[in-house]
Amino acid sequence: MASEDITKLAESLAKTKVGGGQLSFKGQGLKLNTAEDAKEVIKQIEEFDGLEALRLEGNTVGVEAAKVIAKALEKKSELKISLGDALIAAGAQLVELDLSDNAFGPDGVRGFEALLKSPACYTLQELKLNNCGMGIGGGKILAAALKECHRKSIAQGKRLALKIFVAGRNRLENDGATALAEAFGIIGTLEEVHMPQNGINHPGITALAQAFAVNPLLKVINLNDNTFTEKGAVAMAETLKALRQIEVINFGDCLVRSKGAVAIADAVKEGLHKLKELNLSFCEIKRDAALTVAEAIEDKRELEKLDLNGNCLGEEVCEQLHEILEGFNMASVLGSLSDDEGDEDDDEEEEDEEEEEEEQQLKERGVEEQESLTPKKILDSQASTPVPSPPVDVATFLAFPSPEKLLRLGPKCSVLIAQQTDTSDVEKVVATLLRISSVFKDEASVKAAVHETADALMKKAFSSATFNSDAFITNLLVHMGLLKSEEKIKTVPSLYGILMTLNHMVQQDYFPKSLVPVLTAFVTKKGCGKVLGKLVANTIDYRAANTCVKTTENIGKKEPKQHQLSKASQVLLDLRQE
């Protein structure tokens, strides 16, 4: 830095405005690239007692200078956060925002709330807020800001696609976690979620599980040091069955206990072929459950680490674990068992009593018990999903669908849902259609709303040049249980809603004629007809039987040459007549 530059900087600093706890270098055109360049700024910061705000708009601040300025600010305990105006004004497009290890609390979240809602964050991929003391209030503010960012980004054609979310050690608890879960369910693009040590119990864990189920790209779930208990573990296990990209599961110190561990083991055994790390340490897991977990990883060839340390196994079971894994040629993946708590009896009654005691403690603290919902139930309009979300928005409906929420969206619900659905993504279109159809009722207002919303969505999808209609119908048939998939796919719990919606769709002009033969084959073909007949008969769902026949008839009207009512469909017709 030349002497004339130092002189210029000194002159600029002399113009620095000081007042009300604010140190301002706004609009001074300083070029602060290196640590040496920032030396005088740091001096001003260090000498300023009671610093609450630092303004650097209208200056150039390089990475090296920013680091030393940030270091100086660490000692200013009264500093208040206010971010965004300059970034927004400059038209910045953020990819990563990391404010970790700043104890700004709920008020601090308000300091960058406007930034999160602005176009500067439409491109955000990584949000890191570890150890910031946000609390429940901060979690709710953050969740609302993310939802608003998502809504605005879609309206501008720049859909928010957040990939990594980090918010460990923030005391979010159940309410904060539930609010964020609602935002996660709307965003749908998460790949990593790190929320360790947040005081979250099973109601919050269950809400997160529901949200994770609609984030199919998830690779890393880190919820270390929260309190699952059996209910939370079972809910999370159901979600894991629906995820295909999972690489890291960290549920260490989460009190999943034996029953929860067995449920997670079942999920691992059924799929998760990309799994690299499974951490169930310090979870009060006992002998048989631990062995079940070990047996579940037999074909997980990508697995690098299995952590079962700090559980209640005993020396004999520890040896058995080694033997099982050696038999799979996977002995190297087992982590240390040096902190094993020793052998304890697999006393289910004792475990149940502990669960009941913890439930009572939650109730005494005012935490209401929530029903443990599975991904299936998310799609089922009959499931009770307690979501405090007045007024209702599109995102809330899609995350937790119900007939009442659809109607409360108002007359523009069909347009709004279509606008907020990425029709280039076949899986999202199918998921959205299933959620819409899941709330179908014979009530005129609900029926009309479902039909109009499905029409708007599918008309937009089918009119797009990039939409793969064949992939759509295949994906839909798989989720209906009429077509087998190599991967484990959860089918809808009730065919009634989607059949009624299809019955309407096939009669519309936007529905491609090229799909008619495919639907005809699967609705009327003998083999698939039997599958459908069995699904309907097993639930004594005469409405679905009736709808299947109607749908078959309507498909036939649209493409008569393709229409042959098989014996299997006639069985359904007989069910209707009965």
Q: Cβ-count burial of 515 within 10 angstroms (0-12 exposed, 13-18 middle, 19+ buried)?
A: buried
Residue 405 has what DSSP assignment?
A: H
**Is 109 strand, coil or helix?**
helix
pLDDT of the residue at 541? 42
335 contact partners, CB below 8 Å, separation of at least 6: 281, 305, 306, 307, 308, 309
Distance, in Å, from the CA atom of 127 to the CA atom of 166, rounded to the nearest integer, reads 6
pLDDT of the residue at 540? 36
Q: Cβ-count burial of 517 within 10 angstroms (0-12 exposed, 13-18 middle, 19+ buried)?
A: middle
Residue 20 has what DSSP assignment?
A: T
Q: Where are the domains of the chain?
A: 20-79, 90-342, 394-541
Q: Are 115 and 145 in contact (CB under 8 A)?
A: no
10-residue averages of pLDDT along the chain (578 residues): 47 48 81 89 86 76 78 68 63 86 84 91 95 93 96 91 96 96 94 97 95 94 96 95 94 96 95 94 95 94 95 93 93 93 67 62 53 44 37 74 86 88 90 93 90 94 90 89 76 83 88 79 52 41 48 48 37 38
* Omega of the bond leading into 391 within 30 degrees of 0 (cis): yes
Distance, in Å, from the CA atom of 570 to the CA atom of 122, rounded to the nearest integer, reads 53
Distance, in Å, from the CA atom of 209 to the CA atom of 214, rounded to the nearest integer, reads 9
Q: Are 565 and 527 in contact (CB under 8 A)?
A: no
> Beta-strand (E) ranges in 485-556?
none
Looking at the domain that runs over 394-541, which CATH code has it been given? Answer: 1.25.40.200
Distance, in Å, from the CA atom of 206 to the CA atom of 212, rounded to the nearest integer, reads 10
Sheet containing strand 53-55, edge to edge, reads 17-19, 22-24, 53-55
pLDDT of the residue at 360? 62
Distance, in Å, from the CA atom of 531 to the CA atom of 208, rounded to the nearest integer, reads 33
pLDDT of the residue at 358? 62
Q: Cβ-count burial of 354 within 10 angstroms (0-12 exposed, 13-18 middle, 19+ buried)?
A: middle
Distance, in Å, from the CA atom of 226 to the CA atom of 218, rounded to the nearest integer, reads 19
Three-class secondary structure assignment of 159-172: CCCCCEEECCCCCC
Nearest to 181 by CA among 130, 235, 133, 132: 235
Can you read off the two tokens belonging to residue 364?
Answer: 């005494």
Helix (DSSP H) and strand (DSSP E) numbers for the chain: 26, 13
**Is 235 strand, coil or helix?**
helix
pLDDT of the residue at 370? 47
Residue 251 to residues 123, 235, 269, 302, Cα–Cα distance (Å): 30, 13, 17, 19
Helix (H) / strand (E) containing 455 = helix 444-463
**CATH number of 90-342: 3.80.10.10, 3.40.50.620, 3.10.20.310, 3.30.420.10?**
3.80.10.10
Nearest to 187 by CA among 430, 392, 398, 380: 398
Phi and psi based region of residue 40 (left: phi greater than 0; alpha: psi -120 to 50; beta: remaining):
alpha
Distance, in Å, from the CA atom of 513 to the CA atom of 555, rounded to the nearest integer, reads 9
pLDDT of the residue at 430? 94
Name the packing angle between helices 567-577 and 542-558 (round to 10°).
130
pLDDT of the residue at 56? 76
Name the packing angle between helices 348-364 and 257-270 (round to 10°).
100
Distance, in Å, from the CA atom of 320 to the CA atom of 294, rounded to the nearest integer, reads 10
- Each residue's pLDDT tens digit, 311-366: 999 999 999 999 999 999 999 999 999 999 888 665 556 566 666 666 665 555 55
